[in-house]
Amino acid sequence: MQIDLAGRTALVTGSTQGIGLAIATTLASAGARVAVNGRSPESVARASAAIRTDVADADLVEAPADVTTAEGVAALLAVLPEVDVLVNNLGIFEAVPALDINDDEWRRYFDVNVLSAVRLIRTYLPGMTARGWGRVIDIASDSAVVIPREMVHYGTSKTALLAVSRGFAKEAAGTGVTVNSVIAGPTHTGGVEDFVYQLVDRSLPWEDAQREFMRLHRPQSLLGRLIEPEEIAHLVAYLASPLASATTGAAVRVDGGYVDSILP
């Protein structure tokens, strides 16, 4: 399959590291003009340089902004008035005992993991529907379906994100715009390395720690290893492309078989 995004502008939130950086790099390699987003100009500049190392002719827009606030989205809109592909990747997670999560933390998780996506969809979807083409892709998690005991607030916020995607897909029905979510399984990022070491012996080398984490805390994974960010990015690139024109309102899994279900 030839994925060609030439002439399309994509915004990937939280794209200075991890899954977001992999998605931005993959979309740039497919020919898209990609807006790299993070909270600080410095982190965005570093990410842009990293992308250009992998994709020499990458067409990038540096778009630093805190998209968890209305003011940040307004600043982003001034730099990027319209997009064809919106990837809501920004998210936070941390292992916390369920009974220790206070109201402020619950609100913070919903502000970052849910409302930032809602705000950006509300900002950019009207332009997509007016032009008759667009892609909205929300990066969810296996934790949306299999709520982890150690991250109830995170899992619940990602469940809400699945509902957001389905609801806005109905809003965009018949317009040529698709809205989907990606259920990403346990993925190897710097943040996840820190998370793994919250749950297993910190003295273990990384490969041993990863295997121990999967054995003890994610034993239902059929892959038996953490997913690499590029593997998530490949599915996102497909959903962002014209090839996925008949896929909308879906929660598409790239979870290594973690969710024990025949249906997505």
Q: Higher model confidence: residue 74 or residue 192?
A: 74
Give the least confident one: 183-187, 188-192, 236-240, 253-257. 188-192
Active-site annotation holds for 258: no
For residue range 132-150, what is the model confidence (pLDDT) as tens digits?
Answer: 999 999 999 999 999 999 8
pLDDT averaged over every residue in the chain: 96
3-class secondary-structure state, position 76: helix
Distance in angstroms (rounded) separating the CA atoms of residues 72 and 44: 15
Exposure string over 113-126, b if 16+ CB within 10 A, otherwise e: bbbbbbbbbebbbe
Distance in angstroms (rounded) separating the CA atoms of residues 21 and 17: 5
The answer as to CATH 3.40.50.720 being correct for domain 9-187+227-254 is yes
3-class secondary-structure state, position 98: helix
**pTM of the predicted structure, to 2 decimals:** 0.95
Dihedral sign (CA 158, 159, 165, 168) = negative
Helices marked H in 55-189: 70-79, 103-110, 116-131, 152-171
For residue range 146-183, what is the model confidence (pLDDT) as tens digits?
Answer: 999 989 999 999 999 999 999 999 999 999 999 999 99
pLDDT at 224: 86
Where exactly are the structural domains of the chain?
9-187+227-254
Distance in angstroms (rounded) separating the CA atoms of residues 76 and 208: 42
For residue range 72-118, what is the model confidence (pLDDT) as tens digits?
Answer: 999 999 999 999 999 999 999 998 999 999 999 999 999 999 999 99
Q: Which of the residues 154, 197, 238, 258 is marked catalytic?
A: 154
